[in-house]
Amino acid sequence: MIEKIKEKKRAIQLRKRGLSYSEIIKRLPVTKTSLSLWLKDIRLTRAQQNRLRKKSLTKLNLGAERKREKRLLKTEQIKEGAIKEIGKISKREFWLIGIALYWAEGSKQKKYNPSVRVIFGNSDSKMVRFYLKWLKNFCNIKDEDINFSIYLHETANGKRAQRYWSKITNFPLNRFSNIIWKRHKIKTRRKNVNLDYHGLLRIIVKKSTNLNRRIQGWIEGILIENK
């Protein structure tokens, strides 16, 4: 009993010095329940309250950062396993992937407009590189038969976007002179803004209506074979 009285007295002293419950528990062999009973009437100064608040926020931030690091590590582990599942891609698989990309992001011919050229648009640099390689390897398209347009919000830097897409595609800077400006007000939650925003690149193949018809046939072939 005497020992408990000593612990209570010591706990009150520590609390008056502005220590948190967890800090007191590290110094005394008591439970949080006991502290709650002993210290409920102890009032801390504003400075002490601010210190504990900052300490709590720091602890929360550290905890959040540790969770973030764990998620990133888990993400990398899952990705590494998934990469191994893919393995080496055959020429035919590359061809089919390109068809699927165009199916998702390319311009389609319609009954009311059967003369649409091959036009592909995306803002993903890796996808753009893949598609250009597919055009050259499977559609026999030469560099001189490709035109580019950049769709860009008016708040963006046009010259920066031109340099970016020139570097991504390995095409000369002068091939990106055509910028279509988006004039409407931006309302977005996207993270790729400011320096990370480069607009959307449209890749247009000259005199390619027949190629577009052929690609439509490839797409229909995939559908027919997988009914």
Provide mean pLDDT across the span 7-15: 83
Please enumerate in sequence order all residues whose Cβ is within 8 A of that of 225, keeping only pairs 6 or more positions apart, or say none. none
28-83 pLDDT, tens digit per residue, is 888 888 888 888 888 888 888 888 888 888 888 888 888 888 898 999 999 999 99
Contact status, residue 145 vs residue 206, Cβ threshold 8 Å: yes
Provide mean pLDDT across the span 181-190: 67
108-148 pLDDT, tens digit per residue, is 988 777 789 999 999 999 999 999 999 999 999 999 999 99
Q: Where are the alpha helices (DSSP H) in the chain?
A: 2-16, 21-27, 32-39, 46-86, 91-105, 125-138, 158-169, 209-225
Confidence of residue 191 (pLDDT cuts 50, 70, 90): low
Q: What is the pLDDT of residue 4?
A: 77
Give the separation between CA 181 and CA 204, rounded to whole angstroms.
Answer: 18
Amino acid identity, position 148: F
What are the structural domain ranges in the chain? Answer: 91-225
Q: Name the strands in the sheet holding 200-205, side by side, starting at the edge strand that comes first in the sequence.
A: 119-122, 200-205, 146-153, 179-182
For residue 86, pLDDT beyond 70: yes
Give the separation between CA 1 and CA 30, rounded to whole angstroms.
Answer: 13
